[in-house]
Amino acid sequence: MQPRGGPLLPPVFDAFCDFEPLPLNCEAWPVSEPHSGGAVQEFHSSLATSNSSDWNWPTRPVVFVSDPHADAESFLRSLVAAGVICRTGAGLADFTLTGFGHLAHVVVGGDCLDKGPSNLDMLDTLSALFATGAKVTLLAGNHDLRLMLAVRALATPRNPLTEHLFVRMGRKALPLLREVWHRFGSDQRLTRLPSEAKCRERICPSESWFDEFPKAAAPHLAPEAINKELRRLREKGSQFTQNVADAGLTMREVFGAALLCHELFLQPTGPYHWFFQRMDVILQTGSVLFVHAGLDDSMCELLVQDGPAAVNTRFRRDAKRDLFAFYFGPIANLVRTKYRASDKVLTDHGVRLLHQAGLKLVVQGHVNNHNGQRLLAKRGLLHLEADVTLDRASRAREGLSGIGAGATLIYPSGDIIGLSSDYPKAKHFHPHCVGLQAQMPQPRAQQKEFA
């Protein structure tokens, strides 16, 4: 079906860069297709429950872009595709807000860091977006928090609960460490660092860690989760030395880069101190909750009883306390869960609380997809998976070509549009129009309405 109005993409989109073309036509969200939803019976059951009471929609359009993973160009292309910015040059900070961009609420769904091609470029571009005066909410992702926890762990006395956190980041964090060392490191800093062997010893868990960790973690984690952590560390630990060499680094440079990250990100005078300071863990607007990964019952209770501000306040408070309890507790579960047996549990009780409070849809990142966004029910709660594999490193490993682009747009009308360069049409969902082909909304026309 041809959408109403003009083309989805503004003409400036291809003015300064080659790109994977985004869709020009719109279709009803194909929820019966596995790549866009699947588990149709559960989806319709959850949708019927949600539709049994009124939906409340945001008062301004929301543009959700998640998991850019250090690919600033894909992030900018996504904002252009959504109509938020206009590129004015080839540089990563050469853009201005459109009329729609001035009115929209941009939600960055987490995982700005790791993978590549450039973490620092991504952070500088995000800073430039803040500088435009756009309304932006930055959510925490598991990759973002892992950096914070790992560098803090290196700066505190070793103990069995935290000494593995740095290696646990694995190879995906090494591009950031390499960038930080190359931009901010120096021969003078290198001479002040311990020997290669001492740095390796400080970075890697001790020989006794595999025996000590299960005992120390027993009060905090179920046996299955403890065993999973041990398996991960055996895998990542055995590969880490080679990963460091493949990244062109020494253990001294890795250790030096970690100390620099502590200065850059965690010290008030650091140029990237703003990154964690501006970070929330959830955003609720009407019936929609934005979060990196998902929920458990305890977070549902806190959210319903005390509101989203209380959840974000607890996030900031707990992040400054016990590292292990925070990372494996219910707050960090918001950025880590995939509703696995080892994750905090979301049951009918939590979902019922959310529905009674009018919260009906979770919009998340964290689970990357190859054919655009997915809309499905998880644990009886509607979820929209909006990680559309933007970064070039992931795309190359997973057989996707080019630089990704995509965004999820949610309008005050209740229309939701999923855009992705990896799916031929824009996907449209409205909770009261599932399966209807008529009167398909046109995103650019709606943007003009708000401009």
Residues pairing with 376 in the sheet:
383
Question: Is residue 6 in a domain?
Answer: no
Q: What is the pLDDT of residue 25?
A: 87
**CA 408, CA 176: separation in Å to the nearest integer?**
27
Q: Which residues of 297-306 are buried (b: 16+ CB within 10 A; e: fewer)?
A: bbbbebbbee
Domain check: are 149 and 110 in the same one? no
How many CB atoms lie under 10 A from the CB of residue 288?
24
CA-nearest of 319, 206, 183 to 253 is: 183
Domain check: are 293 and 332 in the same one? yes
Chain centre distance of CA 57: 22
SS3 of residue 206 by DSSP: coil
Domain check: are 150 and 113 in the same one? no
Domain check: are 403 and 350 in the same one? yes
| pLDDT, tens digit (0-9, with 9 covering 90-100), for 183-221 | 999 999 999 999 999 999 999 999 899 999 999 999 988
Question: Is residue 426 in a domain?
Answer: yes
Question: Is residue 4 in a domain?
Answer: no
Q: Are 406 and 390 in contact (CB under 8 A)?
A: yes
Q: Is 2 exposed, middle or buried (0-12, 13-18, 19+ CB in 10 A)?
A: exposed
Domain check: are 149 and 127 in the same one? no
| pLDDT, tens digit (0-9, with 9 covering 90-100), for 313-331 | 999 999 988 889 999 999 9
Q: Are 46 and 63 in contact (CB under 8 A)?
A: no
Question: Is residue 276 in a domain?
Answer: no
Q: Is the pLDDT of residue 436 over 90?
A: no
Task: Name the most confidently modeled range: 57-66, 109-118, 161-170.
Answer: 57-66
Final residue in a domain of this structure, among 202, 237, 266: 266
Domain check: are 53 and 36 in the same one? yes
Q: What is the pLDDT of residue 445?
A: 53
The token duo for 94 is 């050469």
Domain check: are 302 and 434 in the same one? yes
**CA 238, CA 38: separation in Å to the nearest integer?**
38
Q: What is the pLDDT of residue 349?
A: 98
Q: How confident is the model at residue 21 (pLDDT cuts 50, 70, 90)?
A: low
Q: Is the pLDDT of residue 96 over 60?
A: yes
Domain check: are 198 and 253 in the same one? yes
Q: Which domain holds residue 396?
A: 11-140+281-450
Q: Is the pLDDT of residue 9 over 60?
A: no
Q: What is the pLDDT of residue 156?
A: 86
**CA 347, CA 380: separation in Å to the nearest integer?**
8
Domain check: are 209 and 237 in the same one? yes
Q: How confident is the model at residue 448 (pLDDT cuts 50, 70, 90)?
A: low
Q: What is the pLDDT of residue 20?
A: 53
Q: Is the pLDDT of residue 427 over 90?
A: yes
Final residue in a domain of this structure, among 266, 300, 334: 266
**CA 171, CA 240: separation in Å to the nearest integer?**
7
Give the mean model confidence (pLDDT) for residues 118-127.
97
SS3 of residue 429 by DSSP: strand
Q: What is the pLDDT of residue 42?
A: 94
Question: Is residue 51 in a domain?
Answer: yes
Question: Is residue 272 in a domain?
Answer: no
What is the residue-averaged pLDDT of the chain? 90
Question: Is residue 335 in a domain?
Answer: yes
Domain check: are 253 and 349 in the same one? no
- Provide CB contacts within 8 A for 244, sequence distance 6+: 174, 250, 251, 254
Question: For the whole prediction, is pTM greater than 0.85?
Answer: yes
How many CB atoms lie under 10 A from the CB of residue 391?
26
**CA 330, CA 310: separation in Å to the nearest integer?**
14
How many CB atoms lie under 10 A from the CB of residue 317?
11
| pLDDT, tens digit (0-9, with 9 covering 90-100), for 42-85 | 999 999 999 999 999 999 999 999 999 999 999 999 999 999 99
Which helix (H) or strand (E) segment holds residue 196: the answer is: helix 196-203
The four Cα atoms 319, 322, 323, 325 give a dihedral, to 10 degrees, of -100
Final residue in a domain of this structure, among 243, 266, 289: 266
Q: Is the pLDDT of residue 157 over 70?
A: yes
Q: Is the pLDDT of residue 233 over 60?
A: yes
Domain check: are 90 and 162 in the same one? no
Determine which of 22-36, 70-84, 186-200, 384-398 has the lowest per-residue pLDDT on average: 22-36
Task: Quote the number of domains for the chain.
Answer: 2
Q: Is the pLDDT of residue 310 over 90?
A: yes
Domain check: are 382 and 305 in the same one? yes
